[in-house]
Structure 1
Amino acid sequence: MQSVKTNENRIMLITGAAGGIGRATVKVFAEAGWAVIGVDRRPFGEAFPSRGLFIQADIADPEQLERIFEQAEAFSPTLDALINNAAIQIAKPLLETSAEEWDQVMAHNLRSVFLGVKLAHPLLKAQGGGAIVNVSSVHAICTSANIASYAASKGGLLALTRAMAIEFAPDNIRVNAILPGAVDTPMLRASMERGSLSGGTVLDRLENLARKTVNGRVAQPEEIARAIYFLADNNQSSFMTGQALVVDGGATARLSTE
């Protein structure tokens, strides 16, 4: 049985901190007493936790990624958890997706995790172990038209999660993925604006999407954040590694022919 560490001494780093799920995750961890290092290419605003550190940078740029972890190490020589949450989405038919757009999605959603984990590993190992939570998507296991690059990046992230879990187990570093379904975030609403689902207003499209889940609604960001916290907290999920936690309101449980 591993020793229990108090929340006041725990530190996490999350990418995509200024997005819908990211902001909710920052709030959940901070309220639980963790110190939070947030990273985003957009400004976070004045509401970032006072005990934490916000770094505005683009994780798709390997040089900026190195500087992120230099600043993180200066803030704290150890990490208890790394949350790879940042992602972009390009919604268009595969045949209309350019090589540049494909590479852009992979650089943000997949390559940044590969490079970031290599930089975070010494900080997690110095702590004596920790947790990595990769925010994948239900699109890793079942997808739809006109989102191939995003689905491929999230499927790759799920496979990478399993590989990292195996390689990092000797260092007492657990690696799991969370696969959210529809979440009411700016990214989802932007996809509604682009007409990814038929219907009238954005609200009409969200309601139509909600009806497709077993629960009959889309998730709120805090619901995903609490699942992320569960996977990151060694006091709750110490025997989980290499797993995919689907949080989708039952959407993938229902047959498409039903």
Structure 2
Amino acid sequence: MLITGAAGGIGRATVKVFAEHGWRVIGVDRNAFGEGFPTDGLFIQSDISDPANIEAIFSQAQAFSPVLHAVVNNAGLQFNKPLIETSGEEWDAVMASNLRSVFLGAKLAHPLLKAAGNSAIVNMSSVHAIATSANIAAYAASKGGLLALTRAMAIEFAGDNIRVNAILPGAVDTPMLRASMERGVLDGGSVLSRLENLASKTVNGRIGEPEEIAHAIYFLADSNQSSFMTGQALVVDGGATARLSTE
């Protein structure tokens, strides 16, 4: 399997979960992974926002393995600022990383996934695709687009026995989330108080852990568990989107 954004919170947890289930993992990230990447896997340090890099990544992946049983599009870029202050360059950077990379990667991954005979793509969308907040417009738009692309891919790839689904995580304790807290995306208080405020918005009364999202990804990637699911959006948000905002 191949996963982008492999060095981050959810990506790193996903690498671990798949490796524990006996999958050989190809990890991709613009940052170094550091210690702990599976010894039987392949880590590629590369920025997927560059189309030339995507071609190089899949060339290396094919040399490593002639088939792919799963591709997890997990890499993401986020800018936290008002829409009217977001530059065209920032907008394009988010779309290149979060949306265009999935489109280009799908075309290159398709023959490897088809060769596997029974495979899956899992796209990392977000609850921001269905309900969002201020100062995150580019990110929300990219994740909404990714959700629509998931449905389109599911329809077009079904004949090749490739299932395509999306995960929509809510607030998860990752470096990206903590960085947004530190930049003051939410009003007032310390990072801890902001995390506690987020936790209070969920039915469960807490934010998610990367491992919980990783297990949901594995469920969608494993054809033994989710063989009749394709074109779907699996929301994993502690019930945050189930509660009326007027409560």
**TM-score per shorter chain, which class?**
over 0.9
Task: State yes or no: 1:207 paired with 2:196.
Answer: yes
Which residues in structure 2 correspond to 1:4-153 (within 5 Å)?
A: 12-153=1-142
Unaligned runs of 5+ in 2: none
Q: SS where residue 82 of structure 1 aligns?
A: strand
Q: Which residue of 2 aligns with 1:8?
A: none
Question: Which amino acid letter does the alignment assign opposite residue 32 of structure 1?
Answer: H
Corresponding residue for residue 219 of structure 2: 230
The residue identity in structure 2 corresponding to 1:66 is E
* Distance in 2, Cα, partners of 1:215 & 1:198: 22
Residue 129 of structure 1, CA deviation: 3.0
Contact 2:166-2:233 at 8 Å conserved across structures: yes
1:164 is aligned with what amino acid?
Answer: M
Q: TM-score, normalised by structure 1?
A: 0.95
Measured after TM superposition, the shift of residue 201 of structure 1 is: 1.1
Residue 205 of structure 2 is aligned to residue 198 of structure 1: no
Q: CA deviation at 1:199?
A: 3.0
The Cα shift of 1:46 comes to 2.2
1:187 and 2:210 aligned: no
- Name structure 1 gaps, 5 residues minimum: 1-11
How well do the aligned residues superpose, as a CA RMSD in angstroms?
A: 0.5
Q: Deviations over 1:170-210 (max 9, x none)?
A: 00000000000000000000000011112321011101110
| Aligned with 1:159 (options 148, 154, 158) | 148
What does the per-residue CA deviation read over 1:3-47, in whole Å, with 9 as the maximum and x for residues that have no partner? xxxxxxxxx000000000000000000001100000001000121
Could you state the TM-score of these two structures normalised by the residue count of structure 2? 0.99
Q: Distance in 2 between matches of 1:191 and 1:97?
A: 16
- In structure 1, how many angstroms separate the alpha carbons of the residues matched to 2:151 and 2:31? 30
Aligned length: 247
